[in-house]
Amino acid sequence: GSYTIIIGEPGTEKMKVLKGIHSLDKGEKVEANVMEEKEAN
């Protein structure tokens, strides 16, 4: 399944890099795959 992360929350910097997201503002929500979350940890 998937879940929603909010840019700016602790731990989201790695997720931004992993997903190749660089232009999102803090507080913006992004759908992320659970497998990607595990890889980012």
* Contact of 40 with 15, CB cutoff 8 Å: yes
**pLDDT tens for each residue of 1-41:** 456 666 667 766 666 655 655 556 666 666 665 554 555 55
In this structure, what DSSP letter does residue 8 have?
T
What ranges make up the beta strands (E) of 1-41? 2-6, 29-33
Task: Tell me the pTM.
Answer: 0.25
Closest CA to 16 of 38, 34, 35, 8: 8
Q: Cα torsion at 30, 38, 8, 1 (round to 10°)?
A: 30
How confident is the model at residue 14, as a pLDDT?
Answer: 65
* Contact of 12 with 31, CB cutoff 8 Å: no
